[in-house]
Structures are given as structure tokens and as C-alpha cells.
């Protein structure tokens, strides 16, 4: 890694912390420069604007999310139910840790930034696609009986999104998250209707 890459990375890491604590709106280029003990002009050498730094921060968190969820998918490959459970659990756990990324996905205030809609669409499509793969493997193994895995994937993503805001705002404890996760999975795995013969 070159010296320029190291400096650029340190700017992104420092900005990530500031954006995570104070939000995009309240964080200034002066704050970022001060946190690095550098002049503002040296920050502008690497990034044209605060928006460009925020994009780099969101990209780095998106890569981290993708990497950690891939790791979950590598485990439990023999058990589609456990794979789905671990995927959802890890994703919900990452909500608080990847504050900037989730802010980019959820905040109306940020929608004026050109790259935000691109990030939102790509992430949503990637997530639906990943869940669809998990469900199709489960169908092949005779674990799931689903007519349309894509629609089921969209429904699961929607259910997870319903839990994101209270987690992100710190209104749910780990126990509450576990209880809600189990309830969602129970509905996914067993449905809510009584089936004949059961």
C-alpha cells in the first residue's frame, strides 16, 4: 500500500467515526481535518468534498458488510435453515456497527447525493439475490416449499428492514432482537396458518 493510499485510508477511517457519531450533516471538513491533525487543504488534496469522503466511507462499509455476510454464507452450507438464520442475525447485528451505510440506505436527507440512490438500488438487488440463492438451495434440498423464491426473498428483506430502525436507534436489546428474529424465522419456516394433517 502506497503512502498516499495509507493517508487516504486514514481520512476515510477518521471520517467514518465522525459521520457515525455526528451524522453527515453536522460533520464538517474542519472536523475531519482536526481529527487527523492536518490542515483542511491536505484533506482536499485527496477528496474534493465532504460528499466524496462520505461516498468512500459508505463504500468501505458496504464492502465490510458484503465480506462478513459472505463469511456467514460459507458456514452452515449443509443446513439452509441455519444458514438463513445466521445471515439474518449477522445482518441485524451489523446495523449499529455500519451506521453510515445504513444511514445512506434509510435517510431521506441524503437522497440528494447522487451516489446514494445507486448504493440503495445495488444493495437491495444484491441482498434479494443472495436470499434467493439461499432459498433455492433449501428448495433443492427439500427444506423449503416456496412457489416464488424471489418474492419470498423480497418479503424477508422487508421484514428485516422493519427491525432496522429500532436496532439502529438503540431501542432494542440483544434479547429483544433474538426474540424478534425467532418470531420472523418461525413465520418464514412454518407460516401462520394451520395446515391439514398437522
The predicted structure's pLDDT at residue 175:
62
Model confidence pLDDT, tens digit, residues 26-68? 999 999 999 999 999 999 999 999 999 999 999 999 889 889 8
Model confidence pLDDT, tens digit, residues 154-191? 988 888 887 776 666 666 666 676 777 777 778 777 77
pLDDT value at 152 more than 70: yes
The predicted structure's pLDDT at residue 194:
64
- Give the pTM: 0.78
Residue 1 C-alpha from the chain's centroid = 27
Q: Enumerate domains of the chain plus CATH numbers.
A: 1-47 (1.10.10.60), 49-190 (1.10.357.10)
Amino acid at each position: 500500500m502506497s503512502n498516499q493510499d495509507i493517508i487516504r485510508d486514514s481520512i476515510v477511517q477518521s471520517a467514518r467515526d465522525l459521520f457515525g457519531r455526528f451524522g453527515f450533516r453536522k460533520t464538517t471538513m474542519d472536523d475531519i481535518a482536526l481529527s487527523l491533525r492536518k490542515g483542511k487543504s491536505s484533506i482536499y488534496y485527496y477528496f474534493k468534498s465532504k460528499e466524496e469522503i462520505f461516498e468512500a466511507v459508505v463504500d468501505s462499509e458496504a464492502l465490510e458488510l458484503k465480506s462478513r455476510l459472505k463469511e456467514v454464507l460459507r458456514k452452515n452450507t449443509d443446513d439452509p435453515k441455519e444458514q438463513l438464520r445466521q445471515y439474518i442475525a449477522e445482518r441485524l447485528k451489523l446495523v449499529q456497527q455500519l451506521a453510515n451505510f445504513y444511514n445512506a440506505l434509510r435517510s431521506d436527507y441524503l437522497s440528494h447525493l447522487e451516489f446514494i440512490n445507486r448504493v440503495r438500488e445495488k444493495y437491495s438487488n444484491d441482498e434479494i439475490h443472495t436470499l434467493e440463492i439461499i432459498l433455492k438451495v433449501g428448495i433443492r434440498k427439500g427444506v423449503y416449499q416456496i412457489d416464488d423464491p424471489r418474492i419470498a426473498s423480497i418479503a424477508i428483506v422487508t421484514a428485516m428492514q422493519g427491525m432496522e430502525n429500532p436496532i439502529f436507534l438503540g431501542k432494542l436489546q440483544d434479547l429483544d432482537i433474538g426474540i424478534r428474529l425467532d418470531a420472523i424465522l418461525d413465520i418464514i419456516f412454518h407460516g401462520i396458518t394451520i395446515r391439514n394433517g398437522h
